[in-house]
Amino acid sequence: QVQLVESGGGLVQAGGSLKLSCVASGNTFSTYAMGWCRQSPGKEREFVASINWSGTSTYYAHSVKGRFTISRDNAKNTVYLQMDSLKPEDTAVYYCAAEEGYYSAAYYYTEKIFGSWGQGTQVTVSS
């Protein structure tokens, strides 16, 4: 399994932006589809966004589409989540996730499909 380490979380006002990063260990990063999921207190973990192995396709949860952008740099073993127009309801622990495979990003539409997880990074959006 790949090891994942997230960074970039923090406190931001509503309407602001944050960019999360996730660095993966090893030399097989380009064989993995990557995703971001989040979990708020008292709620189930939910899917946020996914990107296929090459970065040519992306998929978003309806709640973040048009505000968040997922991207990856295979040379740096890194996946990013640019979060704009943040809302208080985006407050959560954000987790980076990985799953081996070469399907399009839409295949990885649920948190249940990912097999490797980071430790999470807290994002808090104040109103």
Q: What is the 3-state secondary structure (H, E, C) of 80-121?
A: EEEECCCCHHHCEEEEEEEEECCCCHHHCCCHHHCCEECCCE
Note the pLDDT of residue 26.
Answer: 84
Cβ neighbours of residue 3 under 8 Å, at least 6 residues apart? 24, 25, 26, 116
Q: Taking Cα atoms as reference points, which of 81, 83, 51, 79 lies closest to residue 67?
A: 83
pLDDT in tens, 6-43: 999 999 999 999 999 999 998 899 999 999 999 999 99
Note the pLDDT of residue 96.
Answer: 98
Element (H, E) at 57: none
Note the pLDDT of residue 44.
Answer: 96
